[in-house]
Amino acid sequence: MAELAVGEYVAIAEGVYLEGLSVDHQRDVIWYSDVIAGGIHGVKPDGTKVASFNESRMWTGGIMMNDDGAVFSTGQGGIMWNNPDTGKSGWLLDRLEGQPINGINEMWPDGTGGIYFGTNDIENIIAAKDTRPSALYRLTMDREVIRMDAEIYFSNGIAYDAGRRKFYCSDTFRKGWMFDVAGDLSLTNQQVLLDRDDCDGLALDVEGNIWITGFRSPGILRRLKPDGSPLPDVPTPVGSTTQVRFGGDGRDYYIDIVPSDGGDSLKEGKPLASPSYLYRGRSDVAGVLIPPARFKLD
């Protein structure tokens, strides 16, 4: 596989509306979701298809790895796990505060084997109604669920910078937030990171900068310093970006590109005008390779 130049892209997969994204560093596979066509799909960095599962499950917004090779995926009902090697599957989390889960969107490791995650109102998304407020949580490695003190309307992309004790969250249709992280991993001091209403998925590079996608921001990935001050945008292929993840030696990255009116079409229950693509690109700075969680699965 040829190495790309910085600023060069190659499409490696296609779908209806691509959203969830995770790099499986152990298998050298990129797992992605299609929230409309359904399923989790895996490809190699050169686009070679590997496997698909949960093909009838729509609305998966987040994907993440466990250290035993299982793939976590969010959506209606909570967080599922699938092990592509064994074919086994189950639920990591299917109830919150004693109730069935409406929806979960993005996930990020908490640095202790557990994860942070955010809920969303999939019931009203499907019905093309205004969504109800969501929340941020931490799920410890021992399956304790801890609700975070945060005012979030539509949780989307999240990231935790353990070195700087900073947490970032996209609040779709409102703005991006940043928090300080206390010693007990709770969130404090909620502040505006980016005052845009299309904040979507995000990732971090090794310099602590935030790469933030925007479903109404065609042709660019925004980059911000840890304090929220802007850096030059990263040009992308035509369309808007919903998620970004780093892989390979850290300088390869993968982005989901959707039609620039796609997010609003989903919100309003309208059909999408054109396909969605998964691209591989090359960065001049290495990104954070997201480590797996460490849950013991049945």
Q: What is the DSSP string of 242-270?
A: EEEEEETTTTEEEEEEE-TTHHHHHHHTP
The arithmetic mean of pLDDT across residues 67-72, rounded, is 98
| CATH code (residue 52) | 2.120.10.30
Q: Say yes or no to pLDDT of 42 above 70.
A: yes
Q: Is residue 212 part of a domain?
A: yes
Confidence class for position 15, pLDDT limits 50, 70, 90: very high
Domain containing 109: what range?
A: 10-282
Confidence class for position 260, pLDDT limits 50, 70, 90: confident
Report long-range pairs for 185-190 (Cβ below 8 Å, ≥24 apart).
Answer: 185/110, 185/111, 185/112, 185/138, 186/146, 186/148, 186/149, 187/136, 187/148, 187/149, 187/150, 188/149, 190/150, 190/151
pLDDT of residue 124: 93
The helix (run of H) or strand (run of E) holding residue 34 is strand 29-34
Q: What is the DSSP string of 102-168?
A: -BEEEEEE-SSS-EEEEE--HHHHHTT-PPPPB-EEEE-TT--EEE----BSSEEEEEEETTTTEEE
pLDDT of residue 33: 98
Compare 60 and 261 and report the one with higher pLDDT.
60
Q: How far is CA 246 from CA 188, 229, 258, in A?
A: 28, 22, 19
Q: Is residue 142 part of a domain?
A: yes
Q: Is residue 125 part of a domain?
A: yes
Q: Is residue 4 part of a domain?
A: no
DSSP reduced 3-state for 126: helix
- Give the number of domains in the chain: 1
Q: What are residue 23's DSSP bridge partners?
A: 30
pLDDT of residue 238: 94
The region of weakest confidence among 13-22, 123-132, 140-149, 227-236 is: 123-132
pLDDT of residue 65: 98
The shares of helix, strand and coil residues in the chain, as percent rounded to the nearest 5, are 5, 50, 45
The region of weakest confidence among 122-136, 151-165, 175-189 is: 122-136
Q: Say yes or no to pLDDT of 264 above 80.
A: no
Strands (E), 162-275: 166-171, 175-181, 187-194, 199-204, 210-214, 220-224, 230-235, 240-247, 252-258
Q: Say yes or no to pLDDT of 296 above 70.
A: yes
Confidence class for position 261, pLDDT limits 50, 70, 90: confident
Q: Say yes or no to pLDDT of 226 above 70.
A: yes
- pTM, to two decimals: 0.96
pLDDT of residue 2: 82
Interval 204-225: pLDDT, tens: 999 999 999 999 999 999 999 9
Q: Say yes or no to pLDDT of 263 above 70.
A: no
Q: What is the DSSP letter of 272?
A: P
The C-alpha atoms of residue 176 and residue 188 are separated, in whole angstroms, by: 15
Q: Is residue 185 part of a domain?
A: yes
Q: Is residue 290 part of a domain?
A: no
Q: Is residue 2 part of a domain?
A: no
pLDDT of residue 70: 98
Q: Say yes or no to pLDDT of 142 above 90.
A: yes
Q: Say yes or no to pLDDT of 273 above 70.
A: no
The arithmetic mean of pLDDT across residues 25-42, rounded, is 97
Residue 122 phi/psi, 5° resolution? -65, -35
Sign of the dihedral defined by the CA atoms of residues 202, 245, 127, 218, in that order? positive
Confidence class for position 262, pLDDT limits 50, 70, 90: low
DSSP reduced 3-state for 122: helix
Q: Mean pLDDT of all residues in the chain? A: 95
Interval 101-121: pLDDT, tens: 999 999 999 999 999 999 999
Q: Say yes or no to pLDDT of 265 above 80.
A: no
Q: Say yes or no to pLDDT of 156 above 70.
A: yes
The region of weakest confidence among 80-84, 121-125, 200-204, 252-256 is: 121-125
Instruction: Enter the tokens of residue 59.
Output: 């609305």
Q: Is residue 57 part of a domain?
A: yes
The arithmetic mean of pLDDT across residues 17-29, rounded, is 97
